[in-house]
Every structure is written in C-alpha cells, then in structure tokens.
C-alpha cells in the first residue's frame, strides 16, 4: 500500500503491463481454438473490452461510465450480420420440412438448423451450418434451415424454447426417416451454459464423418 501511495504512476504502469500480457495470452489461446476469423475477432474485441473496463476502473470510474455508454451505443448500432450463404442447405418452412420428412422419398437423414435472426448466438453461428453442408451433404444426408423468427409457432412442435432463460437457439436436430434421433443442444432443465457452436462440435455430435463414410462405402 505504501508503494502505491509513494509512486502511483509506477504501480499503474505495472498493472497496465500485466493486463496487456494477460490480454495477449488469452488472444493466443483463442486463436488456437476458434475455427473462423470472425469468431476470433469477436472474442478478441470482447476480451479487450473487459480489460478496458478493468483499466478505466483503476484510473477513473467516470471513464468507465463513459465507456459503457459509448460501447452500448456501438453495440446497438453495429450488430453482426448473419452469414447469407446457404451452402448445400435448403431454406424451409415448417410445412415444407414436415412434408419432406413424411414423404419418405428424399434423404434418409435430415439435419435441420432452427435459428432466428434476432438471436445473437444464431448470427454468430450462422456460418457453421452452410459450410458443414458443403462438406457432408449427400444423397443420404440433407441439410435444412428453418427460421423460427418467421415461424415462432413451430418452436413448440419441435420442442424448442426460442427465448428467455431457457433459450435454445440455434437448435440442431437430426431426423432419420422422419424420426428425431439426436439434437444439440439437448434438453436441459438445469439451464447450464451451452458451449459455443463450432463445425467441429456439430460434426462430432452428429457423427457426420461416420455418415459420410457410410455413404461412400455404400456406393
């Protein structure tokens, strides 16, 4: 405490150096884990904001208040746009999906993403599904996208909670011959946090590599 009083600027500089070092360590960790540059940049900005809050609290809490105001305005005005490409996936209405599943003359498996444009988590994960569809789509496995923002009444039919503390968007469901065989995130009544959506996570959860190998070996 005496050192802080005798030389506050030196103490502050040490705190800044420690914060910058911790920031770059986290950035290096995120760079190794993230699959896309968009996700990496988003995580970098998020971590940077946290460090700025910590530094402004140390320097002057008035700066912290101004920081919150400015970045709240920026956040509202500059929402991340959804990824517009569909890849090999098809945009479907709930009725179209139901018809495709019940007719039985299309793919044996359908992997469907239920999303909503108002959800920030959906916008952030919007690139993963189209890119997966390009890699894994075949005659046995098709990919579809249903926008529950346009068809909110369909959420209950598929057992999805679109908002609130139990919000489950985006939700991915794998159907085999019109019967649900797997979903992500799974039903969770304890409201535990869901891991970030990545292509690797979805491919592992739905065993997409196995489905692709099964199709190739069955030719």
Q: What is the pLDDT of residue 37?
A: 61
CATH number at residue 192: 3.40.30.10
Q: Quick one: 158 exposed, middle or buried, by C-beta within 10 A (0-12, 13-18, 19+)? A: middle
Statement to judge: residues 62 and 119 lie in one domain:
no
Q: What is the pLDDT of residue 4?
A: 47
Statement to judge: residues 108 and 185 lie in one domain:
yes
Statement to judge: residues 121 and 61 lie in one domain:
no
Statement to judge: residues 71 and 102 lie in one domain:
no
Q: What is the pLDDT of residue 165?
A: 43
Q: How many domains does the chain fold into?
A: 2
Statement to judge: residues 110 and 202 lie in one domain:
yes
pLDDT along the chain (219 residues), means of 10: 50 63 67 60 70 74 78 69 85 93 81 89 88 94 94 88 65 93 79 76 95 85
- Domain limits at 37? 2-77
Residues 124-148 as b/e (b if ≥16 CB within 10 A, e otherwise) read: bbbbbbbbbbeebbbeebbbbbbbb
Statement to judge: residues 111 and 179 lie in one domain:
yes
Contacts of 120 (CB under 8 A, 6+ apart): 79, 80
Residue 112 lies in a domain: yes
Q: Kindly report the pTM of this predicted structure.
A: 0.68
Q: What is the pLDDT of residue 40?
A: 64
């Amino acid at each position: 405490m005496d050192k802080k009083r005798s030389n506050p600027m030196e103490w502050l500089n040490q705190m800044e150096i420690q914060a910058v070092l911790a920031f770059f360590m986290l950035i290096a960790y995120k760079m190794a884990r993230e699959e896309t540059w968009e996700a990496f940049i988003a995580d970098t900005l998020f971590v940077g904001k946290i460090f700025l809050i910590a530094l402004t609290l140390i320097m002057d809490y008035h700066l912290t208040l101004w920081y919150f105001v400015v970045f709240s305005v920026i956040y509202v005005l500059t929402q991340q746009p959804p990824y517009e490409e569909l890849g090999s996936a098809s945009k479907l209405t709930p009725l179209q999906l139901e018809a495709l599943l019940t007719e039985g003359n299309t793919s044996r498996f359908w992997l469907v993403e239920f999303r909503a444009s108002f959800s920030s988590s959906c916008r952030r994960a919007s690139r993963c599904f189209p890119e997966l569809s390009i890699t894994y789509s075949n005659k046995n496995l098709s990919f579809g996208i249903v926008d529950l923002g346009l068809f909110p009444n369909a959420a209950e039919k598929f057992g999805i909670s679109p908002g609130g503390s139990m919000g489950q968007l985006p939700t991915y469901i794998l159907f085999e011959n019109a019967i649900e065989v797997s979903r992500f995130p799974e039903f969770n009544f304890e409201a535990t946090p869901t891991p970030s959506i990545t292509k690797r996570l979805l491919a592992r959860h739905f065993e997409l590599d196995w489905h692709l190998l099964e199709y190739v070996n069955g030719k």
